[in-house]
Structure 1
Amino acid sequence: MSKVFALLPRLKADAERNLADYILHARERSTVFGRDLDFDQCVWDVTDDYSRRGHRNSKHGSVTISFRQRLQDGRRPFCDQLGEFARAYMRVEVANKSSSTYAHAIAAFRALDTVMVERCVSSLAELDATLFDRASEMIRSNSSRRENPAAGYMLGQIARFLDKKAFVYAPLHNWRYPRASRITNGRIGPEFERRRAKNMPPKECLDGLAQAFNLASDDRDVLITSIAAIMCSAPERINEVMVLPVNCEIEQTDSDGRTYLGLRWSGSKGAADHIKWILPGMAEVVRKALDRIRKITEPARAMARWYEEHPRKLFLPPELAHLRNQSVLTLDEVSKILNLSPGKRAARGWINRNRVPLASVVPEIPLAGHSHVQAVRFEDIEAHVVATVPQGFPIYDERRRMRYSEALLVIAEGLFGNRNETEGSHCMFETVKYHHIGCSLGQNKRSGSTTVFQRVGIDPDGKLAMRSHQFRHWLNTLAQSESLSQLDIAKWSGRTTLQHNSAYDHVSSEDIVARIRTAVGDHGKAIGPLAEIPKNLPVTRSQFAAMIVPTAHVTPYGFCIHDFTTTPCERFRQCLDCQDHVCLKGLADKTSRVAQALEDARESLSKAFRAVADGVFGADDWVAIHKATVKRLDELLNILTDTDVSDGAVVQLNSIKAYSLSDGALSDALSIRETGAEL
């Protein structure tokens, strides 16, 4: 019987050979993440690499790269050839990029792995454009916002890399991630309410934090509530709070004679270091919070200063300094140094876990029935504890060259653990970590952690929970609702671009309607017909405002206050020609659209002029129409960009004579009556 040989296309064979050479190079020749890296493992621990680069994440726990599916997908490792390529790509192409790029690349590889399993594709060389299209759909389906442009961008980079290196035999033709239609982030409906509830802190939690700030007595609760107070004063990121220096305040007297408090802030995500000025109403709260934090953390900074000066000697507080002269320590003395629970059991457990050798000594005062007692040599305890100083010591923040002894949030090791009386270790320090704050606020409530609300006794049922990033959303929304300029919001939040403001804007349509209503009849807040109120009204001002502004919905240029329960749109969505349309000064994206509309109108006017010159019939009418449009938009843009007009001002232009549905209906009715026809 003749044998059957499967014919392999030469292009595919070449692609697989190229791919194998690339993986071999990454496995055996690349030294990124260390020469001793176990290349074939599904999870890489890259904490040491992060530490060498001075990355802050290395100070708050281990950092790993996982080449497998997510937890909800069973933690299944990537299929063989994709897994090898993913590890090679991460080691050679992505290693020197930002940490966020790691996560985006893994998200792209997860989508590719799902597609390869779904379509039964065994070889990476068989990937084509249709499979990458399917992977892009996977990325969207796995994103809570129905779009993940960062992971999609990485997917496109991977596709172009495979094509450029000839790792696939079917050309991908410079494949790029097909962006979905832009999410408008509307202000009404269940989707808006869901997004608002997710990102905004519950009012009950904010009230609870205020109570907890005054009720807290344990060090960890005082620390958490004080950190929360600082985060309520300015829209910062949690990683920026972690690197505040101990002397972070700056006070400045302004021209009005008032003294203002500011904090020296470390910028992130491309923003430079800057000073954040605290609102006067929060200044005393922030001063009190900083004093509380320093009181708790100063002993830990004292430990850090000791280890800077005595890198090989164990730190001991004054009340335990006499133990330094002893060659051996009893278990009770070990418990005091480490501040473990009373008794020998905790000390013996610590010694066994850390493999510190035990010694048997004869006590100076014989104990009944015991000729020898268990003890530990002081030098063994000293060597072990000194070796546990944080990675990178004495430098805490590489970018700012800030030492642990200069950091605000340095604490005794184990303060948030189960040590005796929650005071932490007496001989070693650590820093406040993300999960310390997250668990205390209820971010990981499902895991059974106890919140600060529960510990101070205001939430016995454990119903209160929030996330640290919600402070930033809340303060940004407050700034938006008070009509702070987009530039000021971006600077206050430490952003490099104004476009990111919109993701933190959760002002509802009801809030906007209320803002417009307050401007009715107020020349300081409104420009145009809304600023005028007829005399001798038979209703109150608020009732009149409710009738004039029954509702408001978003338009590309502002907000429409037309009552659609009475008539449909009368201007065929020509918003900028309608008196029922209002604009709010200070909304950068809407102002830019008005400017674009003016540019388009000017282009249309120039075309109309050319048509008149060419003798086109009816072109004169278009010239008149476009002239009026250009004039109207120019006036509107001048108001929206006038520095003398305060941000938040409601701008309503006067009505113009233009065809509307009501005018058409009235004209038709008159025409029918003139002819005598029945209506």
Structure 2
Amino acid sequence: MSEAIPLIPRVKLDAEGNLAKFIDHARNDLTSFGANLNFDTDWWDVTDYYSKKGHRNSKQGTITIHFSQRLKEGGAPFCDQVKGFAKAYIRSNLGNRASASFTFAITAFRALNEAIQQLDVQSLVDCDASVFNKAAEFIRAKTDVGDNESAGYMLAKIARYLDEKGMVYAPLHNWHYPRIRKATGGRVGPEFEQRRQQKMPDPAALDGLAQAFHLAAEPRDVLITSVAAILCSAPERINEVMVLPENCEVEQDGKDGRKYLGLRWAGSKGAADHIKWILPGMTDVVREALARIRRITEPAREMARWYEQNPEKLFLPPELEHLRDQDIMVLDKVWQIVNLAPNKRAVRSWMQKAGIPFIYIPFQHPIQGEIQIKAARFADIERHIVNTLPPGFPIYDEGRDLKYSEALLVIPGGLFGNRSDGDGSRCMFEVVKYHHIGCALGQNKLSGSTTVFQRVGIDAEGKLGMRSHQFRHWLNTLAQGANLSQVDIAKWSGRASVHQNVAYDHVSSEEIVTKLREAVGDHAKAIGPLAEIPKNLPVSRVEFATMAVPTAHVTLYGFCIHDFTSTPCEMFRKCLDCREHVCIKGIPDKTQRVRQALEETKQMLVRAQQAVVEEVYGAEDWVATNQAAVNRMEQLLAILTDPTVADGAVVQLSATNTYSLSEGALLDRMHLEGSGTPTLPGAAPRKALR
């Protein structure tokens, strides 16, 4: 019996050829991540590549790309079907982008790797929509809601790229990541409280930070608490603090005759560089924090200035300058230069790790006689230390042409290590890294790192801790609660769009209710019925405000103050027709929804008017209803966009022609019985029943 010969479609053979050529081109011809990149390893260290480009993340630690599953899932390398293409795609498409760009690509490839293995797909060219659907399921199951959108978007880009370049057999140009509904971001319930606690700093930790700022004595503790004080003065990202120039202060005379302090901040995530003005209450704290930082970091800038002028010579402080004339130094002199612990074992260990050869010199011992002791050549010490200058020196941040000698947060090398004293190296500098601040503030305390709170003696049990980004959430929430306009909050935070403010708004429902109650009866804070209080109240103003605003929950356009413990919503969520709905001026997304609702209602009014022309039965009622709605929304929108109305003002809708189910039933009953009035108190006249 003759052997069966499998028939392979020409399209599939072409796809396999295109895939092989693409991988070979990326391996041999491209130079992204360096011409000497070892393409075939399962992880790439690309720190030097980004350092040469002046990328700030390369100054804060190593930058690596791992073509494997996460460690908690075993850390197995990608399968052969995915590995080569993943490397080629990242090198060809993401090599010239920021280091964070490949994070979501790796997440997408991990999901695709799992899908291929689970479905037993033999080659990448065999991937079709079902494989990518399975990969999308893995992304949704193993990433947060916010992250899976980005990883899913990257997965869709990979699918389209495979299709466009002819590297798959089945068409994928129409495949899209199936988006899931994001969390509504409500302000009540355990989910909100958990999210608020994760994003906001612990009040006890904030109090402890204030104490630590005054108690800190060691240079590294002083530095950390001073950086934290700056973060408390403005809602900035930690990477923006890292690139503050040494001369970051700006002073300006205000119209009130007072001097105001500002800092020059480097923008990120699409925002431009800007000057951020410090609140008067924090001015003295920020000045003191900057003065403390400069005292600690000035020796490092002095070293950087020296190496700019003498790139091949070792910097020595004045008290050690005499060692430059010594060709050979005993180990006692070596530890003075590198500021190690006064222990020969520590010096020997350092020299062995550095690859510095020992030499032996004769020494007359009082008991043992002539012996050979270990020493080192000054030239070898000098060569090694000079070679540890950071990549890209003297430029610290290429985008802003900022030198190490001009940066605020450069420190003597080893300031956060185990030197003989707390001043760090006397001959080499480094920059403050993210983990220096993060570990000191306690974000890694579960791993055993000692926090600044423990070091100053106010947290023996290690309970206090926070993350640097929590300061940004905290200050934004304070600004939201203080009725600062959304434009001002975005500018204060250095954002490119006001729509990004909502992710940093953690004002609780209790705080919103309190704010609404404070506006009751106050014409400066409220517009509409809430601004009026009946005369001769039998209860106090506070009790009346509690009854007028029993609760509040978020709606598309503002807040509903209906008491759901008494009745459910009888308006079928027609919030803009409800007298128990309030709007807050200055919330851009909600104002935009009011504007959108107005446009939609205007379109319905036009259709209703056309129906009247066509003599459609009942069209007159729709014209009246939509016209009233348009008038009401135009008035509301005029208030919400009026520059003379302060942001934070509470706007309540006045009487409308729309009634709830119970109100309508009551009026119908009154009309049929011929008793009472045809309207309810505070409501506009209602058309009689036909």
Q: TM-score, normalised by structure 2?
A: 0.95
Higher mean C-alpha displacement, 554-563 vs 530-539: 530-539
Contact 2:526–2:650 (CA under 8 A) maintained in structure 1: yes
Q: Return closer, same or farther for 1:15/1:547 CA change in 2, 3 Å cut-off.
A: same
Q: How big is the shift at 1:411? A: 0.4
Contact 1:265–1:273 (CA under 8 A) maintained in structure 2: yes
Aligned to 1:42: 42
Aligned to 2:164: 164
Matches within 5 A, 1:490-501: 490-501=490-501
Q: How big is the shift at 1:132? A: 1.0
Contact 2:57–2:99 (CA under 8 A) maintained in structure 1: no
Aligned to 1:90: 90
Q: Return closer, same or farther for 1:366/1:373 CA change in 2, 3 Å cut-off.
A: farther
Aligned to 1:677: none
Q: How big is the shift at 1:171? A: 1.1
Q: How big is the shift at 1:355? A: 1.3
**How many Å separate the matches in 1 of 2:35 and 2:147?**
38
Matches within 5 A, 1:505-516: 505-516=505-516
Matches within 5 A, 1:623-642: 623-642=623-642
Q: In angstroms, what is the RMSD of aligned CA positions?
A: 1.7
Q: 2:409 matched to 1:414?
A: no
Contact 2:67–2:78 (CA under 8 A) maintained in structure 1: yes
Contact 1:140–1:147 (CA under 8 A) maintained in structure 2: no
Aligned to 1:546: 546
Deviations 1:573-631 (A, max 9, x none): 21111111000000000000111111111111111111111111221111111111111
The amino acid of 1:588's aligned partner reads: P
The amino acid of 1:177's aligned partner reads: Y
The amino acid of 1:425's aligned partner reads: S
Matches within 5 A, 1:102-251: 102-145=102-145, 148-251=148-251
**How many Å separate the matches in 2 of 1:488 and 1:673?**
57
Aligned to 2:313: 313
**How many Å separate the matches in 2 of 1:134 and 1:491?**
42
Q: Return closer, same or farther for 1:263/1:193 CA change in 2, 3 Å cut-off.
A: same
**How many Å separate the matches in 1 of 2:507 and 2:370?**
73
Q: How big is the shift at 1:363? A: 4.1
**How many Å separate the matches in 2 of 1:92 and 1:654?**
61
Give the count of matched residue pairs. 675
Matches within 5 A, 1:588-607: 588-607=588-607
**How many Å separate the matches in 2 of 1:180 and 1:307?**
54
**How many Å separate the matches in 1 of 2:254 and 2:35?**
57
SS at match of 1:372: strand
Aligned to 1:399: 399
Matches within 5 A, 1:65-84: 65-84=65-84
Higher mean C-alpha displacement, 653-662 vs 614-623: 653-662
**How many Å separate the matches in 1 of 2:7 and 2:664?**
74
Q: How big is the shift at 1:251? A: 0.7
**How many Å separate the matches in 2 of 1:370 and 1:513?**
87
SS at match of 2:281: helix
SS at match of 1:399: helix
**How many Å separate the matches in 1 of 2:639 and 2:121?**
60
The amino acid of 1:478's aligned partner reads: L
**How many Å separate the matches in 1 of 2:573 and 2:582?**
13
Higher mean C-alpha displacement, 36-45 vs 173-182: 173-182
The amino acid of 2:215's aligned partner reads: L
Q: 2:483 matched to 1:483?
A: yes
Q: How big is the shift at 1:367? A: 7.3
**How many Å separate the matches in 1 of 2:379 and 2:107?**
48
Aligned to 1:271: 271
SS at match of 2:430: strand
Deviations 1:385-415 (A, max 9, x none): 1111111111111011111111000101000
Contact 1:136–1:152 (CA under 8 A) maintained in structure 2: yes
**How many Å separate the matches in 2 of 1:178 and 1:271?**
30
Deviations 1:465-516 (A, max 9, x none): 1111111111111111111111111111111112211111111111111110
Q: How big is the shift at 1:137? A: 2.0
Q: 2:557 matched to 1:557?
A: yes
**How many Å separate the matches in 1 of 2:639 and 2:673?**
45
Aligned to 1:348: 348
Q: Return closer, same or farther for 1:173/1:31 CA change in 2, 3 Å cut-off.
A: closer
Contact 2:63–2:99 (CA under 8 A) maintained in structure 1: no
**How many Å separate the matches in 2 of 1:440 and 1:478?**
25
Contact 2:246–2:408 (CA under 8 A) maintained in structure 1: yes
Q: TM-score, normalised by structure 1?
A: 0.97
Q: How big is the shift at 1:161? A: 0.8
Contact 2:557–2:593 (CA under 8 A) maintained in structure 1: yes
Q: 2:655 matched to 1:655?
A: yes
Aligned to 1:253: 253
**How many Å separate the matches in 2 of 1:147 and 1:621?**
48
Higher mean C-alpha displacement, 663-672 vs 32-41: 663-672
SS at match of 1:275: strand
Q: How big is the shift at 1:656? A: 1.8
**How many Å separate the matches in 1 of 2:118 and 2:17?**
25
Percent of matched pairs sharing the same residue:
63
SS at match of 1:362: strand
Q: How big is the shift at 1:148? A: 2.2
Aligned to 1:517: 517
**How many Å separate the matches in 1 of 2:546 and 2:370?**
89
SS at match of 2:624: helix
Contact 1:442–1:449 (CA under 8 A) maintained in structure 2: yes
Aligned to 1:433: 433
Aligned to 1:100: 100
SS at match of 1:332: helix
**How many Å separate the matches in 1 of 2:2 and 2:195?**
66
Aligned to 2:33: 33
Contact 2:326–2:378 (CA under 8 A) maintained in structure 1: yes
Matches within 5 A, 1:256-405: 256-363=256-363, 369-405=369-405
Higher mean C-alpha displacement, 284-293 vs 190-199: 190-199
Q: How big is the shift at 1:668? A: 6.3
Q: How big is the shift at 1:570? A: 2.9
**How many Å separate the matches in 1 of 2:667 and 2:328?**
106
Unaligned runs of 5+ residues in structure 1 are 675-679
Q: 2:17 matched to 1:17?
A: yes
Matches within 5 A, 1:573-592: 573-592=573-592
Q: How big is the shift at 1:28? A: 1.5
Deviations 1:438-483 (A, max 9, x none): 1001111122110001101111111111111111111111111111
SS at match of 2:261: strand
Q: How big is the shift at 1:550? A: 0.4
Unaligned runs of 5+ residues in structure 2 are 675-690
Contact 2:395–2:402 (CA under 8 A) maintained in structure 1: yes
SS at match of 1:99: coil
Q: Return closer, same or farther for 1:536/1:368 CA change in 2, 3 Å cut-off.
A: farther
**How many Å separate the matches in 2 of 1:426 and 1:97?**
37
Aligned to 2:568: 568
Q: How big is the shift at 1:125? A: 0.8
**How many Å separate the matches in 1 of 2:426 and 2:554?**
59
Q: Return closer, same or farther for 1:82/1:410 CA change in 2, 3 Å cut-off.
A: same
Q: How big is the shift at 1:149? A: 2.0
The amino acid of 1:231's aligned partner reads: L
Contact 1:328–1:377 (CA under 8 A) maintained in structure 2: yes
Q: Return closer, same or farther for 1:362/1:173 CA change in 2, 3 Å cut-off.
A: closer
**How many Å separate the matches in 2 of 1:663 and 1:549?**
20
Q: How big is the shift at 1:666? A: 2.3
Aligned to 1:452: 452
**How many Å separate the matches in 2 of 1:38 and 1:410?**
32
Higher mean C-alpha displacement, 637-646 vs 538-547: 538-547
Contact 1:147–1:180 (CA under 8 A) maintained in structure 2: no
Deviations 1:505-529 (A, max 9, x none): 1111111111101101111100111
Q: 2:52 matched to 1:52?
A: yes
Q: How big is the shift at 1:27? A: 1.2
SS at match of 1:211: helix
Contact 1:552–1:562 (CA under 8 A) maintained in structure 2: yes
**How many Å separate the matches in 2 of 1:339 and 1:367?**
30
